[in-house]
């Protein structure tokens, strides 16, 4: 329920998708953070957008978490966006758990899905549960580790959670429930898996070389308890994080954390701004003083919150792996590190070069301040990239996005959250390059047809180009300057 996008008319939306546009379109636009206990464990879930146009938010979430759950559609298998996100997981050597969803609908053969995951993604697959079909209908799963069959009663459409019965493969009433043909097929499948399948090696799982696979239907809770039970047992503890002082263990006495997400205006009434911190080591205590690594300032952390959908709970402590939200007065930027003891800074999070550019033209000239504030806050969140004219040059800032649909989001959020109506004016730039080496006369580049010189949100010099020909001309004119896809403050993926 907490992460549901759609709900019945008689039931309230209890959603991690809090933005009005998300509800209207039925898609996730920004990552949502949820914490919940499960059988004595504390789970921190970052629910990411699946749409390609919002993939940058998902990439940042992957850099802040310890494992990924790969959700596959039983009919579609490995989709294009799955491949992109998987590459980030592979780079970080993250443990990956796979849940094949929508098994209660017509789908592909499970062996075909396993073969596709192994071939396309290059990862070993170990099915922990295996789907059981009878007369073409999904009836349950066999748990290979527990040696148990979990049968689900077929109930009227729309039931919240289907009743479940656990039994053994040799139980006499299994034949009555499924029929001879289905039981024989199940036994043949299990025999084949045991003979030819990949082994579930915990070290390989921790390195992201093999993925446990589960089958079920999330909407009706088919197979989900078996997945969660196995997840909390197989999931490795929080791993060390790389910093400028080397790897920092989660058991380190120093409290350290970094900002992986900033979200403004989640509470429309209070116009708040929340910085989401991933705790990496030590223990957080409410009211403690920490050092802000980028500015060197000492700050006090008060009223930290954890989230369950839109509900917030003030927390008194936190440990490695936890995600906490801090009210941000405008101090934090994505990738900022906070710590106690000797200063330390974690690796900056990836930022991806924008592919689409536009100016936001105000329909009401009196709203200039609101527009400036809105664009700056959206850029600080990482929702967009903002390029302002260099010093000494007048002009409106340029918005850069990775996906086309992000412009619709910017327009809708400026109207809803900042009361600014804008018209999106597309620009002909194709890509951006950050500048390293000899400085460039940014303000003069456009007049010489070498591209548009600008500064990003961190005041790093950047040039917007209309094509490779323009980049080549600029590179020849300034041979001691390097043009990078990503700036110094970010790390390429």
pLDDT tens-digit series, residues 85-127 = 788 788 788 899 999 999 888 889 999 999 999 999 999 999 9
All structural domains of the chain: 67-234 (3.40.50.300), 241-339 (3.40.50.300), 356-484 (3.30.70.3280)
Helices (H), 55-207: 55-64, 80-92, 110-121, 172-178, 180-196, 202-206
Judge contact between 344 and 245, C-beta under 8 A: yes
Q: How far apart are CA 284 and CA 272, in angstroms?
A: 22
Helix, strand, coil % (nearest 5) of the chain?
25, 30, 40
Instruction: Name beta bridge partners: 262.
Output: 275
Tell me: the pLDDT tens digits for 266-296?
Answer: 665 556 788 889 999 999 888 899 999 999 8
Q: How far apart are CA 56 and CA 417, in angstroms?
A: 22
What is the per-residue burial (b if ≥16 Cβ within 10 Å, else e) of 234-265?
bbeebbebebeeeebebebeebbbbbbbbbbb
DSSP strand pairing (246-248 vs 241-243): antiparallel
Judge contact between 253 and 308, C-beta under 8 A: no
pLDDT-derived band at 28 (thresholds 50, 70, 90) equals: low
| Averaged pLDDT of the chain | 83
Q: Strands, DSSP E only, in 363-477?
A: 385-387, 398-401, 422-426, 431-437, 452-455, 461-465
Assessment of whether the complete model's pTM goes beyond 0.95: no
Q: How far apart are CA 103 and CA 109, in angstroms?
A: 10
Give me the DSSP letters along 181-196.
Answer: HHHHHHHHHHHHHHHH
- Please give the pLDDT value at position 309: 54
Tell me: the pLDDT tens digits for 358-377?
Answer: 999 989 888 999 999 889 88
> What backbone phi and psi angles, to 5 degrees, belong to 27?
-130, 160
Helical pair 80-92 and 110-121, crossing angle rounded to 10 deg: 60
| Residue at token pair 């990862």 | 123
Judge contact between 351 and 486, C-beta under 8 A: yes
Res 194 pLDDT > 80: yes
- Please give the pLDDT value at position 329: 83
Instruction: Name beta bridge partners: 323.
Output: 278
């Amino acid at each position: 329920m907490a992460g549901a996008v759609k709900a019945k008319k008689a039931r309230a939306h209890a959603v991690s998708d809090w933005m009005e546009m998300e509800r209207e379109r039925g898609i996730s636009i920004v990552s949502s953070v949820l914490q919940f206990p499960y059988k004595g464990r504390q789970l921190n879930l970052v629910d990411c957008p699946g749409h390609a146009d919002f993939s940058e938010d998902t990439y940042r979430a992957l850099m802040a978490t310890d494992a990924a759950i790969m959700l596959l559609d039983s009919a579609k298998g490995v989709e294009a966006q799955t491949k992109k996100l998987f590459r980030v997981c592979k780079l970080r050597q993250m443990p990956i758990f796979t849940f094949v969803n929508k098994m209660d609908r017509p789908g592909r053969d499970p062996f075909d899905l396993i073969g596709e995951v192994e071939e396309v993604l290059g990862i070993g697959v170990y099915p922990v549960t295996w789907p059981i079909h009878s007369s073409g209908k999904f009836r349950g799963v066999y748990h290979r580790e527990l040696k148990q069959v979990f049968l689900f009663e077929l109930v009227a459409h729309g039931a919240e959670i289907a009743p479940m019965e656990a039994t053994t493969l040799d139980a006499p009433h299994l034949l009555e429930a499924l029929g001879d043909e289905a039981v024989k097929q199940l036994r043949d499948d299990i025999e084949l898996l045991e003979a030819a399948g990949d082994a579930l090696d915990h070290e390989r799982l921790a390195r992201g070389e093999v993925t446990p696979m589960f089958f079920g239907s999330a909407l009706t809770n088919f197979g989900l308890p078996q997945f969660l039970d196995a997840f909390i047992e197989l999931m490795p503890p929080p791993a060390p994080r790389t910093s400028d002082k080397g790897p920092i263990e989660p058991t380190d006495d120093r409290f350290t954390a970094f900002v992986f997400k900033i979200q403004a205006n989640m509470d429309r009434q209070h116009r708040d701004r929340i910085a989401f911190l991933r705790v990496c080591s030590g223990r957080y205590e409410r009211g403690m003083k920490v050092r802000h690594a980028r500015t060197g300032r000492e700050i006090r952390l008060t009223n930290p919150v954890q989230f369950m959908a839109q509900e917030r709970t003030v927390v008194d402590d936190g440990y490695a792996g936890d995600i906490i939200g801090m009210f941000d007065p405008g101090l934090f930027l994505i990738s900022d590190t906070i710590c106690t003891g000797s200063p330390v800074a974690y690796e900056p999070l990836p930022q991806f070069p924008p592919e689409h550019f536009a100016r936001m033209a105000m329909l009401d000239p009196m709203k200039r301040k609101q527009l400036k504030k809105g664009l700056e806050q959206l850029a600080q969140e990482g929702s967009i990239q903002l390029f302002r004219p260099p010093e000494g040059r007048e002009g409106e800032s340029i918005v850069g996005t990775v996906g086309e649909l992000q412009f619709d989001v910017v327009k809708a959020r400026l109207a809803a959250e900042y009361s600014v109506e804008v018209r999106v004016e597309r620009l002909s730039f194709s890509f951006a390059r950050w500048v390293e080496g000899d400085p460039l006369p940014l303000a003069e580049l456009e007049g010489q047809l070498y591209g548009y010189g600008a500064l990003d949100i961190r005041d790093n010099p950047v040039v917007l180009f209309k094509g490779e020909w323009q980049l080549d001309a600029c590179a020849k004119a300034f041979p001691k300057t390097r043009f990078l896809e990503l700036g110094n403050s970010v790390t390429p993926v």
